[in-house]
Amino acid sequence: MPTLTIRRPDDWHLHLRDGRMLCAVLPETARHFVRALVMPNLVPPVVTGAQARAYRRRILAALPKDMMFEPLMTLYLTETTDPDDMAAAFADGLIHAVKLYPAGATTNSASGVRDMARIRPVLERMARIGLPLCLHGEVTTPEVDIFDRERVFIDTVLAPLCRDLPELKVTLEHITTADGIAYVTEATGHIAGTITPHHLMLNRTHLLAGGIRPHYYCLPVAKRAEHQMALRRAAISSNPRFFLGTDSAPHTDAAKESSCGCAGCFTAPVALSCLAHVFEAHGALDRLEGFAARFGPAHYGLTPNLATITLERRDAPVTYPDTLETGVGPVTLFNPGHPLYWRVV
């Protein structure tokens, strides 16, 4: 049976939630990933160093005793973020990035940023101390079509930001467009982009043709096939500016299968199977390690993991349960709609 052994990966964009949901989903990530950059969009959001420290403790308390996992914490940037508190949390080694959600862009983003001018002093401080900024790269202007929100964000927010603060370390998260790939590829400065397994596997036709698929709905929403192909080319390119952030984002089935369903794909259990599938399809399995385990730590100033993980290619399709029970309701696992053959041994 063909096998592939790579350094153990990290996940540079993960939603772990809290309470019983946290307890249920955490092992799904810890089983395969050594570290993950943990998103701060709880209700209420993780805004202060003290809140990040308390959340980190809750994550470690939820970790099964026989598992190892290192949560890398982030702060949720608001227009009233205290730069001294933020800088102290970074100096302590507690936080590894600050997350900017444009207000209203996605799940629990109501406390996000409305006016970029108001966070300018915080961004200048981040640039000075080397604290990375993670971006949910979509404008929320109601007149901008939802399929154009990433492209318009790049033109109106990201490009001016990188021009004005070239020292700022920036991650354009969950890129979904060829425009995002082109910007990150060509920009000067300290910029990287994460790509999710589901955006490598889906385009908007999968979401909408033959019936609406709530479990394929996420933000930024999947775009045309040509954009999906641009993401695939970037992921397999060995360009160290592109690396894995799953954006695994669990919601209960009740919240997803609704007249106003939540955005998010729960991909953690199947992420590596999906990635191996995509990289194999492009004859690029030898490049999976860079994407999943080396380029992310390099961007965030950490060393790659020494431990390894082995995947094997089965003759018969690998099966996963349809749902994960969480204690607050079932959560459907991401299913690309075709067989997967790779699994973690």
Which of the residues are catalytic? 247
Under rule CB under 6 A, which residues in 97-116 are in contact with ligand DOR?
106-107
**Chain Cα centroid distance, residue 234:** 16
The rounded distance, in Å, linking the Cα atoms of 43 and 45 is 5
Output the CA angle 10-321-333, nearest 5 degrees. Answer: 50
135: buried, middle or exposed (CB in 10 Å: 19+, 13-18, 0-12)? buried
Pick the stretch among 30-38, 163-171, 184-192, 242-250 that binds Zn ion (CB under 5 A): 242-250
Output 106 or 305, the one with its CB closest to ligand DOR: 106
DSSP 27-77: HHHHTT-SEEEE----SS---SHHHHHHHHHHHHHHS-TT---EEEEEEE-
Q: Are 78 and 108 in contact (CB under 8 A)?
A: no
Among ligand DOR, Zn ion, none, residue 218 binds (CB under 5-8 Å by kind): ligand DOR
What is the token pair recorded at 104?
């209203």
The rounded distance, in Å, linking the Cα atoms of 73 and 57 is 11
Under rule CB under 6 A, which residues in 235-274 are in contact with ligand DOR?
249, 263-264
Among ligand DOR, Zn ion, none, residue 41 binds (CB under 5-8 Å by kind): ligand DOR
Output 15 or 299, the one with its CB closest to ligand DOR: 15
Identity of the residue numbered 342: W
Identity of the residue numbered 109: S
Q: Which residues pair with 344 in a beta bridge?
A: 311
Q: Which of 133, 141, 131 has the alpha carbon at shortest distance from 102?
A: 141
Q: How far is CA 11 from CA 30, 167, 213, 243, 308, in A?
A: 10, 24, 25, 9, 15
In whole angstroms, the minimum distance from the beta carbon of 230 to Zn ion comes to 20
x/- site string to ligand DOR, residues 8 to 27, per CB under 6 A? -------x------------
Site size toward ligand DOR, by CB under 6 A:
10
Among ligand DOR, Zn ion, none, residue 264 binds (CB under 5-8 Å by kind): ligand DOR
x/- site string to ligand DOR, residues 193 to 232, per CB under 6 A? -------------------------xx-------------
Phi first, then psi: give them for residue 48, nearest 5 degrees.
-110, 165
What is the token pair recorded at 137?
């790269």
Among Zn ion, ligand DOR, none, residue 332 binds (CB under 5-8 Å by kind): none
Output 109 or 273, the one with its CB closest to Zn ion: 109
In whole angstroms, the minimum distance from the beta carbon of 41 to Zn ion comes to 7
Output 214 or 240, the one with its CB closest to ligand DOR: 214
Select from 215, 247, 250, 269 the one that contacts Zn ion (CB under 5 A): 247
Site size toward Zn ion, by CB under 5 A:
1
29 binds ligand DOR (CB under 6 A): no
Residues that bind Zn ion (CB under 5 A): 247
Residues that bind ligand DOR (CB under 6 A): 15, 41, 106-107, 136, 218-219, 249, 263-264
